Amino acid sequence: MSPQEHYLRTHLQPLILREYAGLLKPEHLVFQQTRKDFSGDITLVLFGPAKRLSMNPLAFGERTRIFLGTLSFEGQPLVESSEIVQGFLNISLSAHFWMHAHQEGSRPTPNISGKKLLVEFASPNTNKPLHLGHIRNILLGMAVSRLSEEAGDEVVRVQVINDRGIHICKSMLAWEKFGQGETPQSSGLKGDHLVGKYYVRFDVEWRRQTEERKDGGMDARTAKDHAPILLEAQQMLRDWEVGVPGVRALWQSMNGWVYSGFDQTHQRLGSFFDRNYYESETYVLGRDQVLDGLARGVFERDPDGSVWANLTGAGLDRKVLLRSDGTSVYITQDIGTAIERQKEWNTDEMTYVVGNEQDYHFKVLFLVLQRLGYEWASRCHHLSYGMVDLPSGRMKSREGTVVDADDLMDEMVAAARDKSEFSEKLMELSEGDKTILFNQVGMAALKYFILKVDPQKRMVFHPEESIDLQGHTGPFIQYAHARACAVLRKAESIGIGASVLATAALPSDIKLTERELMRQLSGYRESIFASHTHKNPSLLCQYAYDLAGLYNRFYHDCPILTPETTDESRLFRLYLSQEAARVLKRSLFVLGIEAPDRM
């Protein structure tokens, strides 16, 4: 709830309800943001209450305006002006109110919620590097985590690393056949890139062998399923499962290369985890839970011995939980992992950041957990997000056409360098400081472009658009922050530092842009809670973008350090610059983006 609505519901609403006792309830009074083409800070919709009172909306509005005139804020009139427009009462609040509201609303809540949340994200396979799709997952996971912390929650960040299975064995077998002992050290490749290279190499060989057999007269399906290299990979998986020493040693070695590569990528992205879970350790979990559910009549066994959950009554299908040979399927592992994690962390909520192709899987998982009697399953949430495409189309890992995360980050940093290289403002920076700045700008472009899109929507990533200093981009917000910092540095050089700004007060004459900037600053906390509640970082992105745009307009409309600016206005405008810089920096931090002081 915005500060203006909160105040009016606390002070205006009781007057209206008392006037029309028994005829109106709080829910009948609807406040909304005033439309941009009208003046006002908040609007009361008149139609609904007027209809209940059998009054003309204009008459109800005029009566309400009388109440507005009685409201004060810390001894000053609360309402500066009001206007009735076609059944809407547009209310403009005093600058004195906004001076207080922005100081309160522009900071995170001082109260700790007491909630502990677990967020699972990333969860890669160890047969390839992280790619653009992983980037969206990781950035969403980190942003949702930080939003929760900013809202006062304790957060546990975890990932499940898919380190076993046929896809892992494909990379291992290809390296064994074609690698000639190649290592990250000997090749100069990051470990995850090296392993991914052999995953692609396996697919090339598999296709070649399949085509050979098709040319020999074998049908396509048989040719593919019986290609020698695939049969060898399947045998390697069986060897891994029974613990053949040589296979296990190769698996540990190649996974070690991958983890080292992942760590470097996460460091660049600013992502981290409190706990890693490994599929090689969790894939056996859940079987006993399913058998216990079977004994209690929660599940049912088919004649072939397989165990199923009948979810048709809930609008879902029957779901196999154990195969006829008693082995687990993927969801069995997830059942066990969820239960073990809840025992370990005792969280109030679990959020799984996973693409929307797994929507059905999580509906089944949460329902099965509830049927097993775990009440906390109702507080599990699937943050379902759309896939990321490029202008050229979808990506395919096996064909080597994915956009590698490291390559993309390098490209974004290079684009930032190209945009900024010849800026006169950077001439005073050392080469080392320029390198840091270009990295900050390039990563901001990447992160913001991903996060500004509602997670539920599929998106197309445009590298060139993301780096534009004048567009709806991360660098645009960074630039507004740097501009405010530049103003403050100049002020400090003439003796107006932070201690002086602490004494700033409302000037006798305040411009509309100054008022709008205070109003936008007051909305920070509301934006955090909305983004947190809906698990949607794009709401905070929009808030930060709007704040940056307003600060730029304020900068042009309100001269700060010019001779004609009065002392009281100069001090107040410097204070607003300080506040804007602080909130922009904090907003970017929650989004995982750095805020350079110079650009």
pLDDT along the chain (599 residues), means of 10: 92 96 95 92 96 95 95 92 95 94 83 87 94 95 97 95 94 97 96 96 96 94 96 96 96 97 97 95 90 96 96 96 90 95 96 97 97 97 92 51 85 88 75 93 95 95 81 95 97 93 91 95 95 97 98 97 95 97 98 95
What's the predicted TM-score (pTM) here? 0.91
Q: Can you give the pLDDT at residue 351?
A: 98
In this prediction, residue 327 carries a pLDDT of 85
Instruction: Give the model's pLDDT for residue 512.
Output: 92
Question: For position 382, what pLDDT does the model report?
Answer: 98
d(CA 340, CA 255): 24
Beta bridge partners of 160: 277
The structure tokens listed for 42 are 């908040």
Helix (H, G, I), strand (E, B) or coil at 84: strand
> What is the per-residue pLDDT for 401?
54
Q: In what order do the strands lie in the sheet with 307-310?
A: 300-301, 307-310, 318-322
Write the single-letter amino acid at 419. K
Q: What is the pLDDT of residue 421?
A: 64
Q: Which domains does the chain have, with CATH numbers?
A: 3-93 (3.30.1360.70), 165-276 (no CATH), 405-590 (1.10.730.10)
Q: Give the list of residues 6+ apart from residue 210 with CB closer than 8 angstroms, or none.
A: 220, 223, 224, 227
Instruction: Answer yes or no: are the C-beta atoms of 108 and 528 closer than 8 Å.
Output: yes
Residue 399's pLDDT is 46
**Cα(25)–Cα(47) distance, integer angstroms:** 14
Q: Distance (Å, rounded) from C-alpha 121 to C-alpha 135?
A: 10
Side-chain half-sphere of 24: how many Cα atoms within 13 Å? 23
Give SS3 for 322: strand
Token duo for residue 129:
């590097």
